[in-house]
């Protein structure tokens, strides 16, 4: 028998606010959420290491590898020596915005919300997405580069070197505090298990074409269509 697909949009319980304008901040994961690819997997594909890297990525997103930092270090080690030129090719040839991303972010801005991109991915791609979508804030990881090639490491930043699920949670709550808003006034959108820490803290958690574990916990799950389908939740 063929399994019945989930509905296009699932809503569980009562939302804290019924109008988009009553929220003040919307936070997005990047890979497979704001963009259609997992950047690290595409880098690995270009360099002939996709099977090894993608297997670790998938296990981490499903929650089978509980230590996201260690999973990322393993994947980065496999990419040691990759030229920056290859990473530029991924950005130019493979990175595509998720359908509906710009529509949703434009609507959020029009309603008075600030937009945060918080990613376990890389600023190399996140800064590009920020510019394309007019995003207000970004937190992501930075490749360590030497002589035009990846070293396999990441650059230490003021908050640490790897943005994992816990760092996503801290970033969202910290920004909400600086804005003077309650966590209930925040929307968090993601697809993988490392998005759950921030999704559990906010007023409205949204799973976008997500892993089953994430979909099960989210207040809203978008299973079909683009990100702009979130606007259908609000009258």
| Domain contains 130 | yes
| Domain contains 86 | no
Residues tagged active-site: 29, 31
| Domain contains 47 | no
CATH for 200: 3.40.50.1000
Domain range spanning residue 202?
Answer: 9-37+97-233
Q: Rounded to an integer, what distance in angstroms lies between the CA atom of residue 36 and that of residue 101? A: 10
| Domain contains 184 | yes
Q: How confident is the model at residue 3 (pLDDT cuts 50, 70, 90)?
A: low
Task: Name the token pair of 108.
Answer: 């959020």
pLDDT value for 2: 60
| Domain contains 219 | yes
88: left (phi over 0), alpha (psi -120 to 50) or beta: alpha
Task: Name the token pair of 11.
Answer: 């809503």
Task: Name the token pair of 61.
Answer: 């997103």
| Domain contains 92 | no
Q: Read off the pLDDT of residues 43-100 as tens digits, 9 standing for 90 and up.
A: 999 888 888 888 888 887 777 877 889 889 999 999 999 999 999 999 999 999 999 9
| Domain contains 203 | yes
Q: Give the number of other Cβ atoms within 10 Å of residue 14's Cβ.
A: 7
Split into its structural domains, the chain has a count of: 1
Q: Read off the pLDDT of residues 181-196 as tens digits, 9 standing for 90 and up.
A: 999 999 999 999 999 9
Confirm if 215 and 223 have CB atoms less than 8 A apart.
yes
Length of the chain: 235
| Domain contains 57 | no
Helix (H, G, I), strand (E, B) or coil at 23: coil
């Amino acid at each position: 028998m063929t399994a019945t697909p989930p509905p296009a949009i699932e809503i569980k319980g009562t939302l804290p606010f019924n109008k988009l304008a009553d929220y003040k901040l919307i936070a997005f994961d990047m890979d497979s959420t704001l963009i259609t690819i997992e950047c690290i997997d595409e880098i690995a594909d270009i360099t002939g290491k996709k099977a090894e890297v993608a297997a670790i990525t998938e296990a981490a997103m499903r929650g089978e590898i509980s230590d996201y930092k260690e999973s990322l270090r393993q994947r980065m080690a496999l990419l040691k020596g990759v030229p920056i030129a290859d990473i530029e090719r991924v950005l130019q040839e493979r990175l595509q915005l998720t359908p509906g991303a710009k529509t949703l972010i434009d609507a959020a801005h029009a309603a008075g919300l600030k937009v945060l991109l918080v990613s376990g991915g890389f600023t190399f791609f996140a800064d590009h997405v920020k510019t394309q979508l007019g995003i207000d804030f970004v937190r992501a990881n930075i490749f360590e580069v030497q002589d035009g090639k990846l070293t396999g490491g990441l650059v230490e930043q003021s908050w640490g070197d790897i943005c994992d699920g816990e760092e996503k949670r801290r970033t969202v709550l910290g920004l909400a505090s600086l804005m003077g808003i309650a966590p209930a006034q925040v929307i968090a959108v993601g697809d993988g298990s490392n998005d759950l820490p921030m999704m559990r803290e906010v007023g409205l958690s949204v799973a976008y074409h997500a892993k089953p574990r994430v979909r099960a916990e989210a207040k809203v799950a978008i299973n079909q269509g683009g990100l702009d389908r979130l606007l259908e939740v609000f009258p």
